[in-house]
Amino acid sequence: MSAMVRVEYVLNSWKTVRQDTIQAVEDCPAGELDFKPAPELMSFREIARHILDAGSGLSGMLLDGETNLAAPDFREKMKRHFSALPAGAAAASLAAALREALDRRLPELAARPPEFFSQIITRFDGQQVTRLEMLQMIKEHELTHRQQLFMYLRLKGIVPVTTRRRMAASAPR
């Protein structure tokens, strides 16, 4: 018997990751959205926007039926799914856009038949993966960048939501 990751598990897991991303954006003090710990790094706002656009762009291309994400027009096709949110958007607007994008995308993905997710596609790096594996990679990409947001919050003395939850769960009752 072969083990298989269920689509609903990946979608629910992505929703949890996104909720924590949104909370990180909401936790960032208004004047600190453009913070970056070193000049060559993306700012907090740029990372959050990258999460928004990469998640929307890559999952949108999957839903469009794209099978070759290594094609030369990859970036142009991704941009069709990017948010119209202005570059300097406030934290509340950025958090709302992150929430709305996933609230729209998850039902679209959940409505696809199992065959959709088992189809092999070419990832942007040339690797052959199933659509479900690509969806898992999109979630992992967000998870990686969410951790950057958490580190930036820590550098500002703010405890990230995941740690706050863990601390609350272990607090004496």
Q: Is 151 part of any domain?
A: yes
User: What residue numbers bound the domain in which 87 lies?
Assistant: 7-170
- Count of the separate structural domains present in the chain: 1
- pLDDT value of position 3: 52
Q: Is 117 part of any domain?
A: yes
Q: Is 24 part of any domain?
A: yes
Q: Is 22 part of any domain?
A: yes
- pLDDT value of position 13: 96
Q: How confident is the model at residue 1 (pLDDT cuts 50, 70, 90)?
A: very low
Q: Whole-prediction pTM value?
A: 0.93
Query: pLDDT exceeding 70 applies to what percent of the chain?
Result: 98
- pLDDT value of position 110: 96
- The pLDDT tens digits of the residues spanning 132-157 come to 999 999 999 999 999 999 999 999 99
Mean pLDDT of 83-102: 95
| 7-27 and 161-170 helices, crossing angle to 10° | 100
Q: Which residues, at least 6 apart from 19, have a Cβ–Cβ distance to it below 8 Å? A: none
pLDDT at 32 over 60: yes
96: domain CATH number? 1.20.120.450
Report the run of H or E that residue 131 belongs to, with start and end.
Answer: helix 131-155
Q: Is 1 part of any domain?
A: no
- The pLDDT tens digits of the residues spanning 160-169 come to 999 989 888 9
Q: Is 124 part of any domain?
A: yes
Q: Is 90 part of any domain?
A: yes
Report the run of H or E that residue 128 belongs to, with start and end.
Answer: strand 128-130
Nearest alpha carbon to residue 153 among 33, 17, 50, 71? 33
pLDDT at 73 over 70: yes
Q: Are 119 and 77 in contact (CB under 8 A)?
A: no
Q: Is 2 part of any domain?
A: no
Amino acid at 68: N
